[in-house]
Chain A
Amino acid sequence: DTGVSQDPRHKITKRGQNVTFRCDPISEHNRLYWYRQTLGQGPEFLTYFQNEAQLEKSRLLSDRFSAERPKGSFSTLEIQRTEQGDSAMYLCASSLAAGGRGTGELFFGEGSRLTVL
């Protein structure tokens, strides 16, 4: 499978626990994005990387959230001290930077659904 993969697909945790999600992008893609989607809403941008550099973070990304892409390949999104409001689908997407060989459309993974009890 050469698409974007996310792990785990589902995570149930208790309030106050830490969780980490992993995303493996399409191998030749240099950009990697994290979005959050809650019920009845469209995906909301959280952050993105170009190679290993984190270029932009949304104000939605509180101090409890941290994302890394240490070698410019896979990425992790960690949520510390989870709250019930963190319950959502966390979507990862990758792309080639627009203007280069790519035309910038995002390719999404299946998502990681987080439920905080």
Chain B
Amino acid sequence: AQSVAQPEDQVNVAEGNPLTVKCTYSVSGNPYLFWYVQYPNRGLQFLLKYITGDNLVKGSYGFEAEFNKSQTSFHLKKPSALVSDSALYFCAVRRLSGNTPLVFGKGTRLSVIA
């Protein structure tokens, strides 16, 4: 079975400071990892994904994520937070092989304070 844990329900950060949103996963075989962002009353928007290769993945809006196989983690990072980054962030995983659907975490609400 696949699962995702986002240990923090809420992350608060001051504008201009670096931010990290944590994600750990469990999957049999090689993982296929994603981050999505959701603004109020909207659908989910794709930010970035990891399939294979470089452990540091760069995505939209200046976000990046670091894949760590030994710690089964895929933390989302940004060097300098903006107020407009305030939203709900979801980590998701599926097995790289096969046709299993994406499994999402519960989400982490990011609040960037001016």
A interface, CB within 8 angstroms of B: 4, 33, 35, 40-45, 48, 50, 55-56, 91, 93, 97-98, 103-111, 113
What's the Cα separation between A42 and B42 when bound, in Å?
13
Nearest opposing residue in chain B for A10, CB measure: B41
CB of A106 within 8 A of CB of B46, answer: yes
Residues of A within 8 A of B51 (CB): 103
Choose from A40, A45, A105, A113 the contact partner of B46 (Cβ within 8 Å): A105
B interface, CB within 8 angstroms of A: 4, 32, 34, 36, 41-46, 49, 51, 90, 92, 94, 99, 101-107
If over half of B's interface residues share one DSSP class (helix, strand or loop), that class is named, otherwise mixed; here it is: strand
Residues of B within 8 A of A97 (CB): 99
What's the Cα separation between A107 and B94 when bound, in Å?
15
Residues of A within 8 A of B101 (CB): 33, 45, 48, 56
Residues of A within 8 A of B106 (CB): 40-42
